[in-house]
Structure 1
Amino acid sequence: MSATLTRVFSAVVIALRAVRRNKLRAGLTILGITIGVAAVVTVTALASGARANVNAQISNLGSNSLIVFARSARASGVRSTAGARLSELDGQALARESTSIRLVAPFLRSSAQVIHEGQNASPTLVGTRLNYFEIRSWKVAQGEPWSPASENLSEKVVVIGAQTARDLFGSLDPVGRMVRIGRQMYRVLGVLEEKGASPFGQSQDEIVLMPITTMRSHVMATRPGEVHAILLSSTSAETSERARQQAEAILRQRHRIGENDEDDFAVRSQAEFQAMQDAIFAALSALLVSIAAVSLVVGGIGVMNIMLVSVTERTREIGIRMAIGAREIDILLQFLLEALVLATLGGVVGSALGYGVIFGFSRAFGWPMRLEPAALAVALGVSTAIGIVFGFFPARRAARMDPVNALGRE
């Protein structure tokens, strides 16, 4: 055991000396691996950070939330949009008949220009019920939401998003002030806490919420009770799938949809959004890492070529070592470890460079980048494997030299 360790240690020392003797050559050799490892580490960190950011945004959609929206359906082979609608009665039926749905909030959605004393903004306009705040886990940072009486009386009151408040009022306190939407004046009751962008890239802070009855009476005319979508909250994360199934069954029955006909609605859950985003990021990450891995392969080929040149230049040295008793395994180990040292140095420098890029981009652009220890370990492991794989052929060539011919070479 000690003899083996001594042999390995001696081979490492010789390999390090060879690298130190040819600093420029060694630097150029590891350059390809350095670039490849840095690219892999950076891309992986960017994808990991972006995934975590999107996951947080999906969580902001609400606790255990599901959304029901209308869509065109095919009945008896014909696609039609005539029956593609939802109503508040559908929402009431879901709340009443489902055992896994805790809260229901139907809503209407539009866009409008909101004006306050010469300042204007064009936020998303949402008319809904009070349950919307709880389902979306949306807190009112200033002021308060409207009351149930406001819904019943169609009062002209609104709760605005943080960005909308800045656009219209600047540093002023918006609570109690008036804004104009269309020809009507509305009193601001509160300002929502800041949420940032949604998973679909839209700002959740450029929004105005009002009672759905107010929106139907003063902003947009609809069929009686019609809504654009219904937001649901299951009783727990574990019952989300059962809530989705119950919602589909209840709505199919209410809409009189035949067994072989398509639904005129769709129910989507947080889990589905999560799965879709994960699939997109997994495919994108695999593509980017594959592209970056090309640099590693090119770097490996560079290691192999340099090692072949090194073997040719040191043929006489190899012959002398064999003549004084070095075995084939000793020569193989010497050159294999030399290639391994070069590749490992490239991996370490590449990891440091990648970390620097991650830190710089995060500070300069505010990009969500997170370096996973597993990704760093894989990058270093791959660079080491490249040293072994691409260094084996030159090492094997050196180990199989004929000592007599090697000594005769100049």
Structure 2
Amino acid sequence: MTIIDAIKIAFRSIYANRLRSLLTALGMIIGVASVIALIAIGQGTQQGVKQEIMGLGSNLIFIQPGSSTDQSTGSKGGRGSSTTLVLSDVDAIMDAEIDGLYGASGQINFPAQAIGGGNNDRVDVVAVDAEYAYVRDLNMEYGSFISDNDVTRKAMNIVLGHAIADSLFPTGDPIGENVRINLGSRFGFNFRVIGVLSESGGQNVQDASVYIPIPSLMNRLRFLKNPTGGTTIQQISIKIDENVDEVVIKSELEDVLMMEHAVLEPDFIINSQNDLVSAASAVSKTLSILLGSIAGISLIVGGIGVMNIMLVSVTERTREIGIRRAVGALSKDIRLQFISEALVVTIGAGIIGVIVGLTIAIVINGRVIAGQQMITVIELWSVLVAFGVSSIVGLISGSYPAHRASMLDPIVALRSD
């Protein structure tokens, strides 16, 4: 018996048992589709996080409070859990005149409710200085960003992210309009719109943020005051030359701030964009592997289903096997016949699974699900792996039933009802 003959017989057998064959293939279809779709989601998440981090600006280093050791307990504060950074640290960094350092800007973030134009929306309030737009590469669509004069005068001016401007003022130019920022139920302040940022696109947080001068609120909110009397900030963003050694810059920044804070161990954390991308990529890769592994289990389950059905098929077709052996079919012919049937089912299921998985990945790409915009990235290797594994599982699953069928005694098989 040739392979072509075995495949023809396999198709006839599958057609004769269409429903059972479909149910057998269903597990493999779901498994292959799951592997492709979940890996696409995992890869998309990785790319989305990377784009969001790189969308913060270019050639950036971030300094945040944290890792301060409590002398009484020996414990360390997590990132952002302490109040070790103050606004004067920004001046100390700039006064150090570090080679390759172009600018530094401090910031404070608050979740708040913005009300304007008869509408309201949840926003991230970012209190900044005048250098922030330069350091973070912000572009204006309308008006201007916060200036040195705004900071000096403690002006109640505000710059809107593109999405917030569209939400509050969908039909008109917001420049000169009033926006009220409510920080919980106790604090509320009125600001005048002086600018709107250009749309950044993707999932960049700047579209959903509003920007105000740091001094506009620091005298009104006591919790912004550090125990030493300085203004507590949550992050310092630093713009550096793309050709400088990040390690050297970070070392010099550490020396400056440790001297400024008069400490022997850093009470702050320094990370570059590349550090953040590497950390996020490691987490996303782990997520992709986990999702792919979970989906891969369904392939194994599908393979067990194929083996089970093939064993049932061998039992049901015992007499047929006996007749084939009686008319001259060899053991290897019977083995080839049943392996061919298993492969036809699993390869067909693999092809359908690939189509379903790709369709799912394409359909959900860019859609908002549970408040989160989905990004999917289809990788050729994930398609090849899913299809290849399904075929191998099919071959393995069909081997034992095929071997069992080939070992049947022709005389005993012919006596079977």
Q: What is the CA–CA distance in structure 1 between the aligned matches of 2:7 and 2:82, rounded to whole Å?
A: 77
1:107 corresponds in structure 2 to 107
| 2:4 matched residue in structure 1 | 9
Higher mean C-alpha displacement, 117-126 vs 188-197: 117-126
Shift of 1:384: 0.4
- Could you say what secondary structure the match of 1:74 adopts? coil
* 2:384 equivalent among 377, 396, 399: 377
Alignment CA distance shift 1:292-1:238 (3 Å): farther
1:137 corresponds to: 137
Compute the displacement of 1:139 (Å).
1.1
- In 1, the alpha carbon distance for the partners of 2:65 and 2:315 equals 73
What is the SS of the residue equivalent to 2:211?
A: strand
- Which amino acid is 1:159 matched to? V
Q: Distance in 2 between matches of 1:390 and 1:184?
A: 69
**Distance across 2 between alignment mates of 1:362 and 1:301:** 32
Deviations 1:7-51 (CA, angstroms, capped at 9, x unpaired): 222222222222222212211211211122222222222222232
Whether the 8 Å CA contact 2:145–2:159 is kept in 1: the answer is yes
1:335 aligns with 2:299: no
Q: Does the residue aligned with 2:90 lie in a helix, a strand or coil?
A: helix
Q: 1:171-182 maps to which residues of 2 (within 5 A)?
A: 171-179=171-179
* CA distance 1:83–1:114, change in 2 (3 Å): closer
Cα drift, residue 341 of structure 1: 0.8
Cα distance, 1:385 vs structure 2: 0.9
Contact 2:100 2:244 in 1 (8 A): no
Mapping of 1:189-204 within 5 angstroms?
A: 189-195=194-200, 203-204=205-206
Q: 2:347 aligns with which of 344, 367, 370?
A: 344
2:48 and 2:203 in contact (8 A); partners too: no
Tell me the TM-score normalized by structure 1: 0.83
**Alpha carbons of 1:14 and 1:170: their partners in 2 closer, same or farther (altered >3 Å)?**
closer
1:358–1:369 Cα contact (<8 Å) kept: yes
Q: Deviations over 1:99-147 (max 9, x none)?
A: 3433211223345665557655563333323331133232111112244
Equivalent AA in structure 2 for residue 73 of structure 1: S
Contact 2:322/2:414 (8 A) holds in 1 = yes
What does residue 58 of structure 2 align with? 63
Quote the Cα distance in structure 1 between the aligned partners of 2:180 and 2:9. 81
Q: Superposition pairs for residues 77-88 of structure 1, below 5 Å? A: 84-88=83-87
Asked if structure 1 preserves the Cα contact closer than 8 Å seen for 2:90 and 2:236, the reply is yes
1:387 aligns with 2:382: no
Once superposed, what is the RMSD of the aligned Cα atoms?
3.3
**Local SS of the residue matching 2:69:** strand
Q: What is aligned with 1:73?
A: 68
> Which letter maps to 1:372?
E
Aligned to 1:166: 166
| 2:96 corresponds to 1:90 | no
For residues 380-405 of structure 1, give each alpha carbon's deviation from its aligned partner in whole angstroms, at most 9, with x where no partner exists: 11110111111110111122233343
Change beyond 3 A, Cα 1:111–1:53: closer
Other-structure match for 1:35: 30
Out of 197, 208, 211, the position equivalent to 2:210 is 208
Deviations 1:138-182 (A, max 9, x none): 211111224444444444433222233234433221223344567
Name the CA distance, whole Å, in 1 between partners of 2:147 and 2:230: 22
Q: Aligned to 2:303, what secondary structure does the other structure show?
A: helix
Aligned residue pairs total: 399
CA contact under 8 A between 1:103 and 1:233: conserved in structure 2? yes
Query: Partner residue of 1:247?
Result: 253
**Partner amino acid, structure 1, of 2:283:** I
TM-score, length of structure 2 as denominator length: 0.82
SS of aligned partner of 2:105: strand
Q: Residue by residue, what CA displacement relative to the aligned partner does 1:257-284 show, whole Å, maximum 9, x if unpaired?
A: 22xx4x2111233233323333333333
Q: 1:360 to 1:115 in 2, by over 3 A?
A: closer
Which deviates more from structure 2 when the two are superposed, residues 337-346 or residues 284-293?
284-293
For 1:3, the equivalent position in structure 2 comes to: none
Does structure 1 residue 233 correspond to structure 2 residue 239? yes
CA distance in 2, matches of 1:335, 1:131: 73
Counterpart Cα distance in 1 of 2:387 and 2:243: 39
CA 310–189 in structure 1, closer or farther in 2 if over 3 Å, else same: same
Amino acid at match of 2:141: A
Give the corresponding residue for 1:273: 276
Letter paired with 1:92: D
Q: Which runs of 5+ in 2 are unaligned?
A: 182-186
Secondary structure, in 3 states, of the residue corresponding to 2:2? helix
Instruction: Give the letter for the 1:256 counterpart.
Output: A
Superposed displacement of residue 342, structure 1 = 0.8
Quick check: 119-128 or 366-375, which moved more?
119-128
Aligned position for 2:315: 312
Q: Mean Cα displacement is larger for which, 382-391 or 211-220?
A: 211-220
Match of 1:23 in 2: 18
The letter for the 1-side match of 2:199 is: E
Q: Distance in 1 between matches of 2:98 and 2:168?
A: 42
In 2 relative to 1, CA 399–238 (structure 1 residues): closer, same or farther, beyond 3 Å?
farther
